[in-house]
Amino acid sequence: MVLLHKASAAAPSERLPYRADLALLGIYEISKSLCGPGSLQEVLTGTLYVLHSFLDMGNGVIALLDADGEPEEVFSATHDNAAARQYFAALPEKAVGQMVVTEMPVVIENVARDTSFGQWDTSLWGDGGKNYAFMGVPIRDRGRPIGVMTIDRAWFNVADIRTDEDVRFLKMVANLIAQTVRLHRLVIRDRERILDDQRRLEKERDEFAPGARHGTASGIVGQSPALQAVMEKLRLVARSSSPVLLRGESGTGKELFAQALHEASPRHAKPFIKLNCAALPESVLESELFGHEKGSFTGAIAQRKGRFELADGGTLFLDEIGEISATFQAKLLRVLQEGEFERVGGTRTLKVDVRLVSATNRNLEEAVAKGNFRADLYYRLAVVPLFLPPLRDRPGDIPLLAQEFLRRFNSDNKTRVMLAPSAMPVLQSCYFPGNVRELENCVRRTATLVQGERISERDFACHNDGCLSAVLWKQMPRPAQALPVLPVAAPALTEPTCASAATCKVPNAAGAGGQSEYEQLVEAMERSGWVQAKAARLLSMTPRQIGYALRKHSIPIKKF
């Protein structure tokens, strides 16, 4: 099929066997290159080297195209990657486009004289293209063009060029290249999938390994039984797509738990979208969640997707769900029931697949009983309730959390502040009604104001009567009895064992006026904003003794 220059003088009867043998040998060498080990660039470059020998090729290029028809990868045996791209870009776009669109070869016997595809860049060839032929064939995979292969050849006599045989040979090579490209891409895709599975399994192994690390998913820090129980239940819930309602006091980290739930679910590769419902008025909230059409209201200058659309296939986290109005509750209920909605100002119904995770620190049961929250929406949201433990139920996590917050502070401010041994008992003795958020505030405030590089017991605001949190909780209006506690499972308290009766007895404070031990305790707790550490200082006791005394007299802790 293919004729070298030295065979051009042979008789026609002598050319055919020679061409057939040469074509067979060429296909054999090319198949060895394509089936050999190496990257896609190595095997395709090797194929072009063989074509260079068998076709007496001057320039040869294999260009793989993306979905838009743009060159994604360009290979050449005679140029580096940058020069190969420049050569391919210099070819007439009409010639390349015809190969891709019609899936037919393009043959030009003399590029210097051809005008059917526009002006050729004759600087690509040494003699201005006067004695050069151009051939190109499409590379098709399962009936779809995925690239093109082009060559050019110098000739001394145009009669020596057997374009029909050369094109048939190039088409056979192009078919082999298409199969090789598909197999390489399948291998790459499978390799990426295996690596993703491996990373996911390693992540799950680390999460399930007992004592492997202090932190859990999404920056949740702690090893206490209360936290581990929640995380174990969270991993079980993550396997399904059931709506989850996160319950707990303010500052317990509901957003972090929602993020951890998403990362542990099969939807982890899809978006995690979050929105605070209490931060927006109802009109803006509807646009944020459902999106709007252009011109639907003043300021809607373009169409905008809502959070439900953005979270399609993933997870949508709605914080402060208990703050939404009754009108918006009905709109949200429809999305949860049907999985469909319309944008604001639109008429087209959109369907989405979203896993909803909501959170609240309100008592929704009481709101339902009073008619402030729809019962049907409550049951849709609370398919799986997760109760997050307050910080007072996980005191063993306070040192880990304090060290983590201090590490973040040092990283943000390029400092080297450390906690002295005397500092940790102060933190562990505090009540922290603001939970983890208040602990972080305390650590950052103390680290900011400390004069040296070590935080000691005396550096904390509560030891200087400057605890802003205590003032805040004290000044907030308090009901006659403690607020209802969310049903969080907590370990049963046992009666403390004291070294002597005096250790569990409140000493008579100066000017107590004959008050009973119970009354002294209640007064001290009221004066300290129900911060046990501060009440202990007022009564010249330790925080542990205050805790024992409160349990002894069954005094309920007020929560603000």
Going by their DSSP bridges, the two strands 315-319 and 272-276 should be labelled as parallel
Task: Please give the Cα distance from 152 to 79 (Å, whole number).
Answer: 14
Closest Cα partner for 486 from 252, 325, 241? Answer: 252
Query: How much is the average pLDDT of 309-326?
Result: 91
The answer on pLDDT for 141 being more than 80 is: yes
The domain over range 217-389 is classified in CATH as 3.40.50.10610: no
For the ranges 135-144, 198-207, 534-543, the lowest mean pLDDT is seen at 198-207
Identify the CATH assignment for 391-476 out of 1.10.599.10, 1.10.8.60, 2.40.10.10, 3.40.630.30: 1.10.8.60
The answer on pLDDT for 110 being more than 70 is: yes
For the ranges 68-82, 197-211, 264-278, 488-502, the lowest mean pLDDT is seen at 488-502
pTM of the model: 0.50
Using pLDDT thresholds of 50, 70 and 90, give the confidence band for residue 515: low
Closest Cα partner for 380 from 290, 311, 318? Answer: 318
Rounding to the nearest 10 degrees, give the CA dihedral for residues 8, 14, 18, 20. Answer: 110
Token pair belonging to 68: 């838009």
For the ranges 173-177, 492-496, 517-521, the lowest mean pLDDT is seen at 492-496
Using pLDDT thresholds of 50, 70 and 90, give the confidence band for residue 134: confident
Instruction: Tell me what pLDDT residue 274 has.
Output: 92
Q: State the Rg of the chain over Cα.
A: 38
Q: Where are the domains of the chain?
A: 5-186, 217-389, 391-476, 488-560
Instruction: Tell me what pLDDT residue 129 has.
Output: 61
Using pLDDT thresholds of 50, 70 and 90, give the confidence band for residue 185: confident
Rounding to the nearest 10 degrees, give the CA dihedral for residues 394, 397, 398, 400. Answer: -170
| Top-ranked range on mean pLDDT: pick from 74-78, 438-442, 482-486 | 438-442
More confident residue, 12 or 396: 396
The CATH fold of domain 5-186? Beta-Lactamase (3.30.450)
In percent, the amount of the chain with pLDDT more than 90 equals 21
The answer on pLDDT for 476 being more than 60 is: no
- Mean model confidence pLDDT for the chain: 79
The answer on pLDDT for 473 being more than 70 is: no
For the ranges 162-176, 371-385, 396-410, 489-503, the lowest mean pLDDT is seen at 489-503
Query: How much is the average pLDDT of 458-473?
Result: 70
CATH class of the 488-560 domain in this structure:
mainly alpha
Token pair belonging to 190: 């499978």
